[in-house]
Structure 1
């Protein structure tokens, strides 16, 4: 729970601003090439912690190892933490990694294959030949620093020679609880790609409810990332561009109203969106979710037809549909199901579909005419497993607060 209405309002405003910025910038990376990888031999697990806006994975960096909590991001392929000495570091509430104290830290040269894999993010200087990276994120935050090889420990697994960004210059919106980012995309420098020889393209996570505090979940790689058992559903996973994941949304049901997916926009390849190409990005970094305007409008109309109350005339921020919160309204929240290709139905609860704060409740799905996004709220309390080799993604309804490493 939040301490005050002010803190709730500030958090919600940050949520709206972050989602809006991320959405507009996600669209700029949809035309990059795809990479491919190898075979599974090991299992790796780590703790996942919840903050107001991120889910943080525990890793240890360097020799001697330094604990760092870093935000997982399925739409990124870079790994970095803030480093000392800093030129311009944001405030964080955990110790910053000092590369000068690590026996295994080794800056890469510009002519190294790892540096060249940065693509557009590379910065090189003729006098030093030192490789530097520079990345701009979806909320327009930027990070830059040295690209190096470093030893990681994730769970009980020692991982030498990981390609790692030692960030000494950052600007923008960064969470004080967050020491950096772990990219889980499928680009060549992501954690998933670097560990491919160990995990075979498999990883899973379980996102806790956004209002949960002091709870932990887990993130798994390799065989332990297999999601199975009663209630598990799966659908085809599309790996478009260098680091983005898509699923195929066929329809949305609101109570007894079925709404077919349709869009007036073009897909990445320049053709009309069709289900079998993958039409909805799955993104752990986008807090809210988005649907094409024509689909959203039908969803909103169906939502309003179920709730016997008058919507607020001036919804907060980007939210389109809000109500005065009450116990009666809560009981009227309609059941929403996302129908994915192959019969994978995601039955969502009110915790997934509406945002509550103080005396207002809003539909947590918004319209956009360029891209559909399955964001963090709709993923909450699902154990979600990716199998990049088989091109499948698995969903299992789960109380994520109980999914801890034992």
Structure 2
């Protein structure tokens, strides 16, 4: 482990996620992904889940916990100690960021969905007869052929890696350690297989002994997950990475794509960075919680009672961060206040948005004559995240509607800040320092002369993309933004 950490620390591991190949930390000219297909995919996602948008929210279970978000390891022989698997809600039916890397010796390229709410790494293996049948083309990469790797090792039930996943499920210490995951609280998205250990490689950086799930059966749209949560088997925990960051670029960004950074390069890139504490939840140790103190609309603090967003002693409540769920969910009482403020400021008759599963909608034609109010999130310690209109309003070209992408949380659940509200903000997770640092890398131009509408249709980065030194390894990979069930 020490050798692995030393190599990673020296290399200052950098993963660049962009619609094109990365060269010296900057997106290459040309081959820029058009923003329109992403908008269409997002629209398809909303239409698919319009009748059950609340079903995406992580369900509280296990006595008020918002879920352990770890899989259920079951005996490989399906013994009596096995089971149907543990439910894990994120990483299903949502907008996802997919990265490619290498596993095994010789290295084989595989892909996985980045998920900060998962503490497990798994991929499709060659023995999987049912894998990928429903997966979109963007995530249906070739499987990992385990038999071709000279460094792969099977994890046995007595191994600590198996016991970390879930204890006391194996019938014998020398049995292979099996696992079963159910994503989204139902059987539509499942993965099952065996735990294994092998080398992971990011360009020239190699990390030996990474524990991962080798899937032999899957159903649904997920072809693999790279868990970046706080659990023991997540990638950041196994490699003891004390800090990572990501930037989700807007569809219309003109000079920088999305990226994820680890270790020393995961640092602020502007002088505008602010921070707020990361809050620990003993009932859901894998998740990243923050303390949301309030919300502002047009610069005015909304009358949301103090403590509305607080994490409770039983593990309920609180505010979770996610990049696999596009919409944001707020405590129902707080949402009511936000909705009322928005509707009052806009002053137009709302349209029916049930087809998209969204609550506050207007026709694009009518909204073009109005002023959409600004919004900001206020966190503990006074850190403020100023939002662009695209962070909380979505325009659907097929229905002609523009809708607020914030919804009320299901009764009894907390709040969740989804990926759309984080677009354009560099999010730095200082795990060692127990704080979230964030900064805007986007600077929207002023609205056209004579226009009263606040919009951000075209954006330009106010800071350079992540630069690299000779000591930094740049990973050449592709960003794929996938909205499931297209």
The TM tier, using the shorter chain, reads 0.7 to 0.9
- How far off is 1:18 after superposition? 8.4
Alpha-carbon contact 1:210-1:377 (below 8 Å) kept: no
**Do the aligned partners of residues 105 and 125 (structure 1) sit closer, same or farther apart at CA in structure 2, a change above 3 Å counting?**
farther
Tell me the CA shift for residue 133 of structure 1: 1.5
Q: 1:22 to 1:9 in 2, by over 3 A?
A: closer
> How far is 1:326 from its partner?
3.2
Counterpart check, 1:63 vs 2:105? yes
Aligned match of 1:110: 157
Distance 1:190 1:330 in 2: 48
Partner of 1:129: 175
* 1:337 aligned onto 2:385: no
Give 1:266 deviation, angstroms.
8.8
Partner residue of 1:220 out of 261, 275, 278: 261
- Comparing both chains, which one has the higher relative contact order based on Cα–Cα distances under 8 Å and sequence gaps of 6 or more? 2
Name the structure where strand makes up a greater proportion of residues: 1
The offset of 1:170, in angstroms, is 1.1
Secondary structure, counterpart of 1:114 in structure 2: helix
Match of 1:194 among 238, 258, 263: 238
Q: 1:405 to 1:89 in 2, by over 3 A?
A: farther
User: Cα deviation per residue 1:314-338 (whole Å; 9 max; x = unaligned)?
Assistant: 5334311000013853862210010
User: More displaced, 149-158 or 318-327?
Assistant: 318-327
Q: Does 1:236 align with 2:236?
A: no
Cα pair 2:290 2:320 within 8 Å, conserved? yes
Structure 1 residues 87-166: aligned runs within 5 Å: 87-91=129-133, 92-119=139-166, 124=170, 126=172, 129-138=175-184, 140=186, 141-166=189-214
Residue 307 to residue 385, structure 1, CA distance change in 2 (3 Å):
same
Write the mapping of 1:164-179 to structure 2, written as runs, cut at 5 A.
164-174=212-222, 179=223
Corresponding position of 1:289: 328
Q: 1:373 to 1:58 in 2, by over 3 A?
A: same
CA distance in 1, matches of 2:320, 2:37: 34
CA distance in 2 between counterparts of 1:146 and 1:56 reads 22
Correspondence for 1:10: 44
TM-score, normalised with respect to structure 1? 0.83
CA distance in 2, matches of 1:56, 1:62: 19
- 1:128-147 CA distance string (max 9 Å, x none): 61011112223642211110
Question: What is the count of residue pairs matched by the alignment?
Answer: 377
- Please name the residue that 1:276 is paired with: none
CA RMSD of aligned residues (A): 3.3
Map of 2:394 onto structure 1: 355
Question: Structure 2: any 5+ residue segments left out of the alignment?
Answer: 1-34, 71-92, 134-138, 443-459, 469-486
SS of 1:87's partner is coil
Shift of 1:227: 2.3
Aligned to 1:392: 435
In the aligned structure 2, how far is the partner of 1:254 from the partner of 1:186? 33
**Residues 54-63 or 329-338, more deviating:** 329-338
* Contact 2:95 2:326 survives alignment (8 Å): yes
- Pair 1:4–1:224, CA change in 2 (3 A): closer
The 1:330–1:129 alpha-carbon spacing in structure 2 relative to 1, beyond 3 Å, is farther
Q: Contact (CA 8 Å) 1:22, 1:137: kept in 2 or not? A: no
Aligned 8 A contact 1:123 1:132 in 2 = no
Secondary structure class of the residue paired with 2:285: coil
The question of whether the paired residues in 2 share the 8 Å contact of 1:217 and 1:405 is answered with: no
Change in Cα spacing, 1:392 to 1:15, as seen in structure 2 (3 Å) is farther
For residue 168 of structure 1, report the CA deviation from its aligned partner: 1.4
Offset from partner CA, 1:26-68 (integer Å, 9 cap, x none): 666536599xxxxxxxxxxxxxxxx982111222111111122
Q: How far apart in 2 are the matches of 1:101 and 1:381?
A: 41
Give the structure-2-normalised TM-score: 0.70
